[in-house]
Amino acid sequence: MPTRRELLALTSGAAAGLALPNETQAAETQAASKDDSHWVATWAAAPTTIPPTTPTVLANQTVRHVVHCSAGGDEIRVRVTNEFGSGPLRIGAVRVALRSGTGASTATVPGTDRRVTFSNHAAVTIPAGSPLVSDPVRLRVPPGGDLAVSLYLPARTPATTLAAFAFQDNVIADGDVTAARTVTPVATIGQYLFLSGVSVRDRGAAVVTLGDSITNGANTPNNLNHRWPDLLAARLRAAGADLGIANVGISGNRLLHDPNPAPGSDAEGFAAYFGHSGLRRFDRDVVAQPGARFVIVLLGVNDLGHPGTVAPASETVSADDLIAGHRQLIARAHAAGLVAIGGTVLPFKGDTLGFFTEANERKRDVLNRWIRAGGEYDGVIDFDRAMGDPADPLRLNPAYDSGDHLHPNDAGMAAMAEAVPLRLLK
């Protein structure tokens, strides 16, 4: 479940412009190889829809995103998406460049700006419900490097497809400033709008991390890339492993159920950001990732904690329900040729969100024992034991606690990354 800080960050909007430039632009074909056999996901953001509230609206504006890559390569592809749009999405231009600086900087490195085309078109219209993958773009991206990905929206465009919790300051600026080295923001947003993936040409493979807010990066500082998958990517680079990381964690995500807030409850204002269930989104967010070879699954805490808090009590699940859901993910991963690695659910006794009950703890224990000893996952990461309080293993270690007794702090994220046996990813 997202924290209060995450939800407050969603209240920022964007100023709307007026100008409507021509839809058609001259195409610029990128000099790139046609061999698509080695595309590897280097960054991902799982898209969701928005609650029934007033959306951020862009018109004659550019949204510039900062993307932290895991693997490097000499060519890239960008995935934009209108998967939750109710009508066509018109994009006037997309450009990509190496990001200059660190933190909240959105400036670009001189000489690295590139036009992005889609089937040799610079301006495109994406049908409702669809993604669009770009042509290859010749640009050398170093492992662990950052990109600035800029999208120009010429017409009035409600942001109905987004990744709601980016933990990165992205900006909106007036006009088509996609090619500008620096832009003047009219709004700073903590989401990724219409952008869901970047891949690089590489001989390696991708690790997909499927999870909830703990995988998404809840309670980590903005602009520092301290999510545990980011820190795992750094470990892999240091070990010389040729692997990209596609983090498709979604705050509030459940394994078995889509968002279902009670009518009239506060949850109606944010539950849509929780995304489709892990079972429902597995093919799109995991199997479809370029070069996917491994999937790490960390799901279940929201299935235990949401019923009776931000979801109906009728959606209460049993340990057997959760095990059956995990078995489905394993079967579908194996059918797609993926190595399936299970993560045990972290302790959350005393959490401030109202998730913990003795009944939920018993279910967590049964699920974790099955993940550890059931022999059905190809490998196991025991986050539970790595993160528990030595004095009370049902609680999060105070050294790793962000304050709500559920989400890890930066030290906890580092401990989670260290808990991953790298031998599982060979």
pLDDT > 70? residue 326: yes
pLDDT > 50? residue 17: no
Amino acid 2: pLDDT = 58
Three-state DSSP at 386 gives: helix
pLDDT > 90? residue 8: no
pLDDT digit string, tens, across residues 374-408 = 999 999 999 999 999 999 999 999 999 999 999 99
Question: Per the domain annotation, does 8 fall within a domain?
Answer: no
* Averaged pLDDT for residues 246-259: 98
Largest distance between two CA atoms of the chain:
65
Q: Which of 178, 196, 214 is the C-terminal boundary of a domain?
A: 196
Please check whether residues 131 and 63 belong to one and the same domain: yes
Amino acid 3: pLDDT = 54
CA–CA gap between residue 279 and residue 273 (Å, rounded):
16
Q: Percent of the chain having pLDDT more than 70?
A: 91
CA–CA gap between residue 2 and residue 353 (Å, rounded):
10
Place of tokens 């401990």: 415
pLDDT > 70? residue 151: yes
pLDDT bin (cut points 50, 70, 90) of residue 262 is confident
* Averaged pLDDT for residues 3-24: 38
Q: Percent of the chain having pLDDT more than 90?
A: 90
Please check whether residues 279 and 376 belong to one and the same domain: yes
Amino acid 337: pLDDT = 98
Please check whether residues 225 and 336 belong to one and the same domain: yes
Question: Per the domain annotation, does 6 fall within a domain?
Answer: no
Taking all residues of the chain, what is their mean pLDDT, rounded to a whole number?
93
pLDDT > 50? residue 157: yes
Please check whether residues 275 and 357 belong to one and the same domain: yes
Question: Per the domain annotation, does 4 fall within a domain?
Answer: no
Identify any residues that bridge with 423 across adjacent strands, giving them in sequence order.
none
pLDDT digit string, tens, across residues 201-233 = 999 999 999 999 999 999 999 999 999 999 999
Tell me which residue range forms the domain holding 56: 19-34+47-196
pTM: 0.92
Amino acid 53: pLDDT = 84
Concatenated DSSP letters for 172-218? EEESS-TT-SS--EEEEESSEESEEEEEEE-SSEEEEEEESHHHHTT
* Averaged pLDDT for residues 251-265: 95
Question: Per the domain annotation, does 11 fall within a domain?
Answer: no
Question: Per the domain annotation, does 14 fall within a domain?
Answer: no
pLDDT bin (cut points 50, 70, 90) of residue 245 is very high
CA–CA gap between residue 133 and residue 72 (Å, rounded):
18
pLDDT digit string, tens, across residues 92-104 = 999 999 999 999 9
Amino acid 280: pLDDT = 98
Please check whether residues 60 and 142 belong to one and the same domain: yes
Please check whether residues 185 and 327 belong to one and the same domain: no
Q: Are 265 and 14 in contact (CB under 8 A)?
A: no
Amino acid 1: pLDDT = 55
pLDDT digit string, tens, across residues 125-138 = 999 999 999 999 99
Amino acid 232: pLDDT = 98
Please check whether residues 186 and 333 belong to one and the same domain: no
Amino acid 19: pLDDT = 29
Question: Per the domain annotation, does 67 fall within a domain?
Answer: yes
Give me 399's structure tokens. 């050294």
The DSSP bridge pattern shows strands 170-174 and 185-189 to be: antiparallel
Domain total in the chain? 2
Please check whether residues 186 and 230 belong to one and the same domain: no
pLDDT > 90? residue 322: yes
Q: Which of 196, 225, 252 is the C-terminal boundary of a domain?
A: 196
CA–CA gap between residue 400 and residue 415 (Å, rounded):
8
